Every structure is written in structure tokens, then in C-alpha cells.
Structure 1
Amino acid sequence: MAETSWSAVRRPLDRFSEWRMRLRRRMVDSDRPALVALVLLAIAITIGGILNVDVVPQVAMLVPIFLATLWLGPRTLPWFVVFCLACVVVLLAAQPTISTRTISRVVITFGIAFLVMVTSFRRARLGVAGPRGESMFVDLRDRIANQGTIPALPSEWLVESATRSAGGTSFGGDFLVASRATDGSTVELIVVDVSGKGIEAGTRSLLLSGAFGGLASAVPPAEFLTAANEYLLRQDWDEGFASAVHLHLRLCTGEFELRKAGHPPAIWLHAGSGRWTTLDSDGPVLGLIPDTDFEVVTGTLMPGDALLMYTDGLVETSSRDIGSGIDKLAGLGQVLFAQGFEGSAQHLIDRLATGNDDGAVVMVHRRTLVGEA
């Protein structure tokens, strides 16, 4: 009786294991349907070229080769290209006469096939086909953007951010990390500028955005820059440094703590006086000096006040020093008191960012509620 019960239980388990192994093989052999279709297409082109060379020339074999670059992985692609070149040789042998134009077509086909194979060998390090690799990068880019998504905040607070990469690419060295405490009382906003710009800094920003996002919610605010500095030192990169500014904001009172590491100072726009001040503090860039401390600047954002955090791509250019750039940014910020701060982050980056360097800006505004007005 016990054996019968065990057999009844084990039979579905065996079926599940068999189904799982079959699914795994199907995932490994995901190129097989595309490969079969492309082989059939290459054979059809070969047969058509043998029957009527005027209708199907040798260069028609470039069609399955091109489709293979989209559908096949880097391990399968070279063998299929070799198969297509063998079909080209068959077509050439079937020619009654070989003209100079025919030889030119064959040479062009072999040249393009060679370039495809070289590209395939370079992609072999990644192990996926071109479109799949691109989709992976798009997913990573979206993950960076998600790290900088501003969490839901009380209606009293308006926080906006905007970034722009050098050269207009989707990857850059400037990014934002934003997180809110589980009890909703505080919010952490971190603006980071990784060494380099554009695509060169994109890979480092991909790694650091995830690491800094984890640190922001795992360590106390006073220890964040210290932990980030130790993390960068352990990476041992040739250009493994970054600047950052970290804002710890208490939402119920407006009290804040600001620390920076080799970063341009934040700008505090005072609604009461209409003036602005810079919040500067000592602290070296991240990833260069071990066991360092970061000075803290404290204050309280009153209703109507605003705080701007940004990277040097907004205030420093080849024709403008950083001091003049900060003055211009603060002047534009003061104009926003009359115009309103909605859409201000994108407005500032459109006015000040250039295509030669990455840029990022975060605007924190404490609204004046109707009852307080």
C-alpha cells in the first residue's frame, strides 16, 4: 500500500522533471527554428540560382546572412555563414560562363560575410545575438532610470529631476538615486557624477547606480558617503572616482542634512528674502582617499524655499568657469519664484546643459500651502 502511494506521488514528480528538462533544452536550442528557416531559405536561393541565374544572382545570398545576424546567436552564426558561402560557390560552379561582374558579386558577398563573422566573434563574449544584446542594454538603462524615480511625496513637496548625456546617448555618467524611508518620514536624494562622460562612463554608472541605491536604504545617512567611498576603492578602477551630493530631508519639518564629495555646492533659494546661498562643505571625491570624513551642512527648508542639486555639466563649460555658471543657475532659479517650479528641472537642463558633457539637476521645492499663505 505504501509503495502504491509513493508511486502515485513520484509519477507526477518525474513528469515535472522531464517537462523542466525539455523546457531547458528548448531554451538552449532557441536558435533552432530560425536556423532551420534560414537554411531552407539559403537552399531555395541556391536552387533558384541554378535554374535561372538572371532572376536569382549570387548576391541574393546576402539576404539570409543579414537575417541570421538578427536571429542567430554568435555561436551558430559563423557556421551558417560558412554554409551560405558554400552555396555561393555552388552557384558560381553552376554558371555557364563567369564574367568579371560575376566575380565582383562573389567578392562582395565574401567580403560582407567576412565582416559578419568578425562581428559574430566579437559578440561571442556576450553570448547573445545583436538585438538581444541591445535589449539587455535597454533594460539596464531603464533600471538606472528607475533608481532615480522620485517616490511619492506629500503634496507639500515638489521634487523634480532631469538628466542629459553627452552626445545625446541613452547612457551617461550622471545619475540620481532616490529613496524614501519605510515609515515615510524622510527621503534620500543623491546626485552622482561618475568620471568620464557619455558611453565611456555608462558602464560604471550602471554598476554604481545599483550599489548606491542599495547603500542608501541600508546605511544611516551620515555613513552613506563613507560606505560609497569604500565601495569605489574596492573596485580598483583606473578611473574609479566619482563626485556626489547627498540630501537627507525630513518631510514633516523641512530639516535637512547635506553632504558632498568633491561635488559643486547645492543652491538654497530663500523665498522670504528672494536671495540665494550656496551650501558648501568639505569632502574629497569618492574612490581616491580611504578613511575620510564628509562635513555636514544642516538647515530647514521653509515654505516657498527651494534647493537645487546639479552636476558640473550645467555650470562649467569651456567658455564659462564654474563660479559664473553657479551664478547663472541661481539667477534662473530665482526667476522660477514668479513662474512656478513645475517643470523647472527640465527647463534648467534645457537652458544650461551642453552636448559636450553629461548633466543632471534635481530641484526640491517646499510648497506654500493654502492655509499657510
Structure 2
Amino acid sequence: MIPAGRRWARTDVGIACVLAATAAAVVVGIALNPADVPVNLVFLPLVLGILFLSNRVLPWFALFVIVALSLAAFFQDGLTPRVGVALSVMYGVAVLVIVLSLRRGQIGVGPFRGQSMLVDLRDRILAQGEIPALPDSWLVESALTSAGGSPFAGDFVVATSGDHGRRIELVVVDVSGKGEAAGTRALQLSGAMGGLVAALPPYRFLPAANDYLLQRAWEEGFATAVHVSVDLATGVFELRSAGHPPAVQREAGSGRWRPLRPDGPVLGIVEDAEFACHRGRLAPGDSLLLYTDGMVEEPRRDIDLGIDHMLGEAESLLRGSWDGLARRLVAAVGSPDDDRALLVVHRRP
């Protein structure tokens, strides 16, 4: 049985041979009939090579295309300015392909695997925020959007059940940076936080996450986070924050929102950090909103005014239903130039 890697190598060489034969056929066509066969046809095999060839074969094939272009130019019946420009552009593209393929090879990204790998990384971040099965008396929803519509963001949510399904652990995190620049850090941190929050008691989670970030020694190695642990039977919760915008609780009896501000430093800055705990209870009908600063911060506007604006929009949207509130609220408020994440925790009456 031929190993999969060797089978792929043979297929790769086979594709290269077919494309090289195509380029050679174009050169022969130009040699026999230079007036009717355009020189830019040599460009087609190069485009196909970019799509289908591996990083090991692609640079050599690009060199072959450069030779083919030189032969095609030799057989041209007079080198007109238009043909000269076309040849210059194709030479430049071929050289660029060589450089990019070498760079792509250094990071181990293949022709199609590169795209699927990025999609897989994004899906792994989103999977950390999937809400586990809950009793019918609870509604927990999350929504995320990234700066400029990028598929990657520095904001993410971690959700897991604990104590044999009697508790739910929820974390909202904002990694330094935004969009794709923060995507790789968010991926690494989301995986670590998913393991820590599931394995540790609530009071140890943020200190452990802080130690993890300090050990990474990233150039932009800080993050803010808010962690809430909710007892699904009683509604009692513990809330801890690490330099994060204040969570807000809505009490069904009064219909008023109340900011919750436990103290705690940003993650990844201070060693042996301590995080204060706010203990409260969600009565039937009560709710919590956990969010990142992209929901409430805008240039030249105080964050408290941003929080008031978000809560006003939330009240307006609540005239319908709590279901889908996270998605609707993220779409309605916040800066489109910043990553945004929102988590809604509602105990049904």
C-alpha cells in the first residue's frame, strides 16, 4: 500500500507535467503561428499551477513558465509595445509566485489546505462558545461580529457546563488587537481558557488564565475577560472581571439595569493578580448581559454613555422577546471598526 504522502507527491508531479506540457504546447503554437496565438496564453498554466501545485513543485514550475515566456517572446513576429508590457507583467507574476510559494512553504500552508485550515481555526474559536444544553427555564445566547467584517476576531466566548450539569460557566474575552491581527492569539487563548474553566473551580479560573498569558510573553500579550458561574437550580451566580467593561443585571421586578463592577486587573500584565468576586442571584425573569468594549466604546464618547445607549437599545428590542436578543443587539449598537461580542443570560419567569 502506497503511503498517502507519496500518492499526493506523485499526483502533484503528474499535475505539474500536464501543466508544463500545456505551456510547451502554447510555445510551439506561437512558434508555428505567432500572429494568431497570443503570448499571454502561457499565463494560464501558471494560474492553474498556483491553484493545484504544492509548495515544493510550484517554484520550479514558475521557473519553467519563465523559460516558456522567454521562448514565446523569441518566436513572436516583432515585439510590439503591447506584447512587451504583457511579457513584463507575466514575468513579474511568475517571480511573485516563486516568492510567495517559498513563504507559504515556510509556514506549511498548502494550496487548498491553507484556506480550509483558516476556516477550521475560525470554527474552533466559535465551537468554544457553543452553549451546552440547559434546562427550559434558562436562555443563554451569544453573538459575535468582527471589525470590518473579517472572519476572525479578537473577541470570543467560552461556554461549558460544570458540576455535572448543575452549573454553567461563561466567559467573554477581548484579546488585544482586532480582526485578523488578534485571530491567532484568540485561537490559542480560547483553547486554553476552555480547558481551564472546565477543570478549575470558579475562583481559580482568572488567576490561572492570567498566569497562562504571562507565560506566553506575547508582544501584545494582554486581554480583558469577564467570567460568570451560574447555579442553574437556584440562580445564584459568581461574577469576576479582569479589566473588562462592567456586566449589567436586569431585575425583572423593577425593570432596571444595574452595573456590576468587581475589581480585577487586565490579564497578562500583573503577576499574582487577585480578582474580586460579586455574588448575586438571578430570580425568575432576571437577566445578565456580558459584552466587550466594542459594544459601548466609540471615539469621543464616554463609556458610561455607551453603556446607557446599549441598555436603551436592549429595552427597545425587548418589546419583542428575549430570544434572539444577542444577535439583534450586536447588529444595532457598537462600532463597526471594532470587534464585538455579547452574551445574554436570562432566567425565564
Give the TM-score of the pair, scaled to structure 1: 0.89
Structure having the higher Rg: 1
SS state at 2:293 partner: coil
Match of 2:328 in 1: 347
Contact kept, 8 Å, 2:179 with 2:339, in 1: the verdict is: yes
What CA distance in whole angstroms lies between the structure 1 residues aligned with 2:179 and 2:226? 20
What CA distance in whole angstroms lies between the structure 2 residues aligned with 1:136 and 1:144? 13
Contact kept, 8 Å, 2:313 with 2:332, in 1: the verdict is: no
Shift of 1:75: 2.4
Contact kept, 8 Å, 1:304 with 1:367, in 2: the verdict is: yes
Contact kept, 8 Å, 1:126 with 1:133, in 2: the verdict is: no
Aligned with residue 113 of structure 2, among 117, 125, 132: 132
Shift of 1:126: 1.9
Shift of 1:145: 0.6
Matched, 1:236 2:217: yes
Match of 1:165 in 2: 146
Stretches of structure 1 that go unaligned for 5 or more consecutive residues are 1-18, 369-373
What CA distance in whole angstroms lies between the structure 1 residues aligned with 2:260 and 2:193? 22
Contact kept, 8 Å, 1:258 with 1:296, in 2: the verdict is: yes
Contact kept, 8 Å, 2:171 with 2:226, in 1: the verdict is: yes
Match of 2:237 in 1: 256
Shift of 1:36: 2.4
Q: Between Structure 1 and Structure 2, how many residues are aligned? A: 349
CA change 1:99–1:329 in 2 (3 A) is closer
The CA RMSD over aligned residues, in Å, is 1.7
Matches within 5 A, 1:143-154: 143-154=124-135
Matched, 1:363 2:344: yes
What CA distance in whole angstroms lies between the structure 1 residues aligned with 2:333 and 2:7? 52
Match of 1:82 in 2: 63
CA change 1:51–1:261 in 2 (3 A) is same
What CA distance in whole angstroms lies between the structure 2 residues aligned with 1:72 and 1:160? 43
Shift of 1:96: 4.7
Which residue identity lines up with residue 286 of structure 1 in the other structure?
A: L
What CA distance in whole angstroms lies between the structure 2 residues aligned with 1:325 and 1:23? 55
CA change 1:296–1:167 in 2 (3 A) is same
Which residue identity lines up with residue 171 of structure 1 in the other structure?
A: F
SS state at 2:168 partner: strand
Matches within 5 A, 1:178-327: 178-181=159-162, 183-327=164-308
Q: Which moved more, 1:210-219 or 1:126-135?
A: 126-135
Q: Which moved more, 1:302-311 or 1:22-31?
A: 22-31
Contact kept, 8 Å, 1:69 with 1:129, in 2: the verdict is: no
Shift of 1:336: 4.6
What CA distance in whole angstroms lies between the structure 1 residues aligned with 2:132 and 2:143? 15
What CA distance in whole angstroms lies between the structure 1 residues aligned with 2:180 and 2:141? 24
Shift of 1:329: 2.0
What CA distance in whole angstroms lies between the structure 1 residues aligned with 2:315 and 2:283? 16
Q: Which moved more, 1:346-355 or 1:102-111?
A: 102-111
Q: Which moved more, 1:310-319 or 1:223-232?
A: 310-319
Shift of 1:28: 4.3
Contact kept, 8 Å, 1:191 with 1:245, in 2: the verdict is: yes
Match of 2:91 in 1: 110
Stretches of structure 2 that go unaligned for 5 or more consecutive residues are none
